[in-house]
Amino acid sequence: MTALLEIEDLALSYGAVPAVDGVSLAIEPGELRVILGANGAGKTTIIKAILGLKRPRRGTIRYDGEHDLAALKPHQIHALGIAWVPEGRQLWHTMTVFDNLRMGAFQSKDHAAVARRIEEMFVRFPRLRERRDQLAGSLSGGEQQMVAIARALVSGPRLLLMDEPSLGLAPIVVRDVFALAREINDMGIAILMVEQNARQALKVADAAYLLETGHIVDQGPADEIARRDSVKAVFLGGAA
Amino acid sequence: MDLLLQQICNGLVIGSTYAVVALGFALAFSVLRVVHFAHPDIFMVGMFSGLVAANYWPGLGLIIAIAAGAAGAGALGYFAERTIIGPLRGRDILTTLIGTLGLSIVLQNGMALLVGPDPVAYPTLVPARFIDIGPVMLTLRQIVNLGLSALLLVLVSVFVRFTRTGRAARAIAERPDVAAAFGVDVARICQITIVFASTLAGVAAVSVGSLYGSASAFVGLLYGLKAFTCMLVAGNRHIEGVVAVAIGLGIIEALVTGYVSSSMKDAAAFVVLIAVLYVRPNGMFGSYAT
Amino acid sequence: MPSFGFFEPILIFTLLNVTMALGLYVTALSGQLSMATAAIAGVGGYMSGVLTVKFGVPFAVAIAAATAAGCLVGGALALLTSRMRDFILKLTTLAFGEALAVLAFNWDYTGGANSFTGLQLHTGLGTCALAVAAALFVAWRFDQSRLGLAARAVRDDPLAAAAMGISVPGIRFTTFALGAAIVGMAGAVQAHYVLVISPSDLGFFVSLNYIIFLLFGGLQTMWGPVLGAILLTVLPEALRFANEYRLIVYGVIIIAVVLWRPDGLLHRVPLGVPQRLFGIRLSPGRPARATASQSSGAPLPQLTRTAAE
């Protein structure tokens, strides 16, 4: 089976400073894989490269075995079925919840399908239906995370990129978020998650990569990684 | 009291033109993050396009001039966006200012080469007539100008609030990366935004040309800086704020002209700018983070 | 002093522009790119002009007064913009400069719209050389001093600088005042060469020209603005042959350089330091922190691809 997403020897820099150097990873359809790393390790940089928001210095990002994402523009990449739950949610605060969701499928021509999916979101997240016409900026952190995830699902993606979904959220909400990720994954949507919260992430993931200052230093099935000393020392000491 | 009302009305007319130009700046700045210094000069080119068309087809008067002004400015806006403004997107703000300044210099001096540096007479598109509205006296030209500006401002509001492209533009203004990642073709929307702003400026320019009866290659200097300060004072979060500030500025200037002296009015814009920004550094109505 | 005849005006203007650029550079070191340079120079010019013409004050004293005046204006501007961030700050200085220009336009004591005339030609090549030397010296000493380092720290990251005990408002005030003093001096020297001071000389367009010097030459080193000033003073002169098209060519060159080299022509990239220009990011996105060199040590375990589950 061809990997859904295959990254080979990826290198990115900010000006003269290298952020990611020689990263290779892959994810199969329907899998949930996580990239673990501390701040500044380069996790978000990889996500931005996949989304076409940052051009790599070197390396290939192959989707579905045929599309080279490094050569495409972000809106084209979105059309291929890749959606983003950004770090810190990054909703449009001056727009309503409904408009935020609508923007999630901006270029979709199939308005009926989009409307149906938005309705599905409201069914799954009744709280969002209540807040439908409220400005997104007025919602709580947990509610904003729901909107961010719903916004990503509205376009019917095959691959979801989740960037630190637990960041800044209360512990009880964090548990819900990871459970939600598992639920989405069970529906068949592949998830590539980047996280600092190793313990929770490894509970839901199929496999994990360890990223340290731009290099992958370890990788393997989630339960194996969870037992490794390197992970224990670096992450499990402080995570929720 | 009559002087007050008269000056307020005069101020409304001036302010409405500031508003249209300022909106062009605001659109370029929020959506493209570019300080579009050449916008007033695109305005100027629109003015001359209208002039040429009106002279060529004198029978069709105002309509052809407006159409030509819109077309000329819009086309110039398109080419400028493709070649200079678009590539400046994403650069630091001062670089965009200098880059568009270069374009401004080229446009101003290019036009001055064609028509000379002195003002040129504008064809009569609207008859010179005085209209009494209660205690206030306005010329027909002022009323036409006001009407056109109001129409343009409504168009911008409709664009930003109710069209799909306008929503995309707002999305880009607030979060460009997220907008791109959710399917917005940022390059195309930026193009449309600049062409839209340029076209409106072209129409406003013809209106202003006919109002004052003259056009000059350097008319951009007059409107540019002040309209720009309007944008800064208002902040770029709410586009209607820019309109309010611009009209306010027009009225303040008119009042200064009426009650103090006409030569001091130019300082009004800058005094207001400094005062407002000292108290609210993000502009009166707030800005997105730059 | 040997006579340079035909080249003397170009030489003098080059020296003057270099001085202005250095003054602006000092102010910009702390991240405040002032757009009121021409206005401050104008203040210096008017001050020395009024003193020599209306009060018969000796030239040297007038220059000193102009320098002090510039210093005061710079300090005032620093206080006015103390609450403002980069971009808004720059534009406030622009507005301030414009307001001064309008004031000059309306103040009949200094000639108002008809410009201030009657100045004596006190400035020669010698004076300009002295001025440049003074500016170079001050800029160089400041650049190398701890104050200069502190200024750069304030420019790059005011929060971190404050956390290290640097008084951010103090540094901003000092750099502004010092830079403005140089500019005021240069304005006085220039006034006594051109012999006329008009309100339009204070306008933002002239200020922008000085900024273009800086941006062309790059801001990482002191010599960038010097190079920019020299190039951009000589270039329009060299273009004189294209007389009417001169400005158009100038505009085209500006566009070309901006599109081609947004960092300026002369820049030294320190390794591992994020690239920022006056606190505004050069490239979109978060600059990465300076990363340590690659981790060395024991070889990594053999990595195998995980199978899909």
Q: What is the ipTM of this complex?
A: 0.89
Q: Residue holding tokens 């290198």?
A: A11
**Chain C residue closest to A39 (CA)?**
C289
| Inter-residue contact B55 to B69 (CB < 8 Å) | no
- Closest CA in chain C for residue B271: C99
Cα C12 to Cα C19, C38, C124, C284: the distances in Å are 11, 17, 8, 41
A214 contacts chain C (CB < 8 A): yes
Q: Is residue B272 in a domain?
A: no
Residue B290 has pLDDT above 60, yes or no: no
B117 chain-C contacts, CB cut-off 8 A? none
pLDDT at A16: 75
Phi-psi bin for B286: left (phi > 0), alpha (psi -120 to 50), beta?
left
Tell me the residue length of chain C: 309
Q: Is A105 close to B183, i.e. CB distance below 8 A? A: yes
Residue C81 has pLDDT above 50, yes or no: yes
Total structural domains within chain B? 1
Q: Which residue of B has its CA nearest to A89?
A: B178
pLDDT of C55 reads 86
> Residues B207-229: pLDDT tens digits?
999 888 889 988 888 788 888 88
**Structure-model confidence comparison of residues C249 and A47, the more confident one:** A47
Mutate to test the interface with B, among C33, C92, C205 (most CBs of B within 10 A): C92
pLDDT of residue C94: 82
Q: Where are the beta strands (DSSP E) in A89-171?
A: 159-163
SS3 A208: strand
> What integer is the mean pLDDT of B5-21?
90
CA dist., res. A166 & res. A142, Å (int): 9
Whether residue C298 is predicted with pLDDT greater than 50 in this model: the reply is: no
What's the pLDDT at B170? Answer: 92
How distant, in Å, are the alpha carbons of B103, C87, C94, C156, C210 from that of C264? 18, 19, 22, 18, 14
User: How far apart, in whole angstroms, are the C-alpha atoms of residue B224 and residue C176?
Assistant: 27
Q: Answer yes or no: is B111 within a domain.
A: yes
How do A207-212 and A32-37 pair as beta strands?
parallel
User: What burial class does residue B129 get, using C-beta atoms within 10 Å of its C-beta: 0-12 exposed, 13-18 middle, 19+ buried?
Assistant: exposed
Pairing state between β C280-281 and A215-221: unpaired
Q: Do B94 and C211 touch (CB under 8 A)?
A: yes
Whole-number Å distance between alpha carbons of B169 and B159: 9
Q: Is the pLDDT of residue C282 over 50?
A: no
Residue C52 lies in a domain: yes
> Closest Cα to residue C18, out of C122, C129, C141?
C129
- Chain A residue numbers with beta carbons less than 8 Å from the beta carbon of B167 are 95, 99, 103
- Taking the C-alpha atoms of residue C280 and residue C267, their distance in angstroms, rounded to an integer, is 17
**Nearest residue in chain B measured CA to CA from A80:** B183
In a domain, B95, yes or no: yes
Q: Which of residues 16-75 of A touch C (CB under 8 A)?
A: 16-19, 21, 26, 28, 30-31, 40, 42, 44-45, 48, 53-54
pLDDT value for C300:
38
Q: How close is the nearest chain B Cα to the Cα of C236, in Å?
A: 14
Q: Report the 10 Å Cβ neighbour count for A227.
A: 10
DSSP E strands, chain A: 5-14, 17-27, 32-37, 58-63, 67-68, 82-85, 159-163, 190-195, 207-212, 215-221
Structure tokens that stand for C297 in this block: 């040590």
Residues of A in contact with C220 (CB under 8 A): none
In tens, the pLDDT along B54-65 reads 888 888 888 899
Residue C254 belongs to some domain of the structure:
no
What's residue C241's pLDDT? Answer: 64
Locate the chain B residue with the closest alpha carbon to C208: B98
At residue C292, the pLDDT reads: 37
Tell me the chain B residues in contact with residue A108 when contact means C-beta distances shorter than 8 Å: 183
Please answer yes or no on whether B109 and C278 come within 8 Å at the CB atom: no
Look at residue C253 and tell me if it is in a domain.
no
Chain A CB within 8 Å of residue B89 CB: no
Residue B144 lies in a domain: yes
Q: Which of C282, C288, C309 sits opposite A40 (nearest CB)?
A: C288
For the whole model, what pTM was predicted?
Answer: 0.83
Is the Cβ–Cβ distance between B23 and B236 less than 8 Å?
Answer: no
Interchain pair B92, C102: CB under 8 A: no
| Cα separation, B81 vs B42, whole angstroms | 11
The pLDDT value recorded for residue A185 is: 94
The residues near C163 (Cβ < 8 Å, ≥ 6 apart) are none
- The separation between CA B99 and the C-alpha centre of its own chain, rounded to angstroms, equals 19
DSSP calls for B160-174: HHHSHHHHHHHHHHH
Instruction: Tell me, yes or no, if A8 comes closer than 8 A to chain C by beta carbon.
Output: no
C308 CB neighbours in chain A (<8 A) are: 1, 28, 30-31, 206
Neighbours of B279 (CB within 10 A): 9
Where in the sequence is the domain holding B157, given as residue range(s)? 16-220
Q: A17 to chain C: which residues are within 8 Å by CB? A: 272-274, 287-288, 290-291
Helix (H, G, I), strand (E, B) or coil at B76: helix
- For A161, residues 6+ apart whose C-beta sits below 8 A from its C-beta are A47, A50, A51, A82, A83, A84, A85, A191, A192, A193
What number of other Cβ atoms are within 10 A of residue A224's Cβ? Answer: 15
When CB atoms are compared, the residue of A17, A31, A215 closest to C274 is A17
**Contacting residues of B for C280, CB less than 8 Å apart:** 92-94, 290
- Give me the phi and psi of B118, to 5 degrees please: -90, 160
Q: Do B278 and C248 touch (CB under 8 A)?
A: no
Over the stretch B150-172, which tens digit does the pLDDT of each residue have? Answer: 999 999 999 998 999 999 999 99
Closest by CA to C185, choosing from C77, C94, C76, C62, is C62
- Is residue B61 one of the residues assigned to a domain? yes
Q: In this predicted model, what pLDDT tens digit does every residue of B73-127 receive, in sequence order?
A: 999 999 999 999 988 888 877 788 888 988 999 999 999 999 988 898 888 888 8
Domain annotation covers residue C213: no
Cross-chain Cβ contact B88/C259 below 8 Å: yes
Within a domain: B281:
no
Residue B68 falls inside a structural domain: yes
* Segments of chain A scoring below 70 in pLDDT: 1, 230-240
Is the pLDDT assigned to residue C308 strictly greater than 80?
A: no
- What SS3 class is residue C266? coil
Contact B92 C277 (CB under 8 A): yes
Separation in Å, CA of A146 to nearest CA in chain C:
25
Residue written as token pair 């994990």: A208
CB contact set of A136 (below 8 Å; sequence gap of 6+): A91, A92, A93, A95, A96, A97, A100, A144, A147
Q: Is C212 on the interface with B (CB under 8 A)?
A: yes
User: Cβ distance A29 to A190 under 8 Å?
Assistant: yes
pLDDT of residue C294: 39
Chains that touch B (3 or more CB pairs under 8 A): A, C
Distance of CA C112 to the CA centre of its chain: 27
C-proximal residues of B, 269-288, CB under 8 Å: 269-271, 273-274, 277-278, 281-282
Average pLDDT over residues B182-205: 95
- pLDDT at B180 (0 to 100): 94
> Phi and psi dihedrals of C213, rounded to 5?
-55, -50
Q: In the predicted model, what is the mean pLDDT of chain B?
A: 88
- Indicate yes or no: CB of B179 within 8 angstroms of CB of A73: no
Q: Which of B226, B221, B280 is nearest to B248 (CA)?
A: B226
What is the C-alpha to C-alpha distance for residues A27 and B250, in angstroms, rounded to an integer?
60
Q: What is the mean pLDDT of residues C25-50?
A: 89
* Structural domain includes residue C290: no
Find, among B123, B143, B109, B113, the residue nearest to B220 by Cα.
Answer: B109
- Mark out the alpha helices in C111-245 (DSSP H runs): 125-144, 146-156, 158-163, 168-194, 204-217, 223-238
Cβ neighbours of A99 in B, within 8 Å: 167
What pLDDT shows up at residue A237? 44
Domain with C34, as residue range(s), is 5-203
Distances, alpha carbon A62 to alpha carbons A59, A189, C109, C120, in Å: 10, 18, 74, 74
**Number of domain units in chain C:** 1
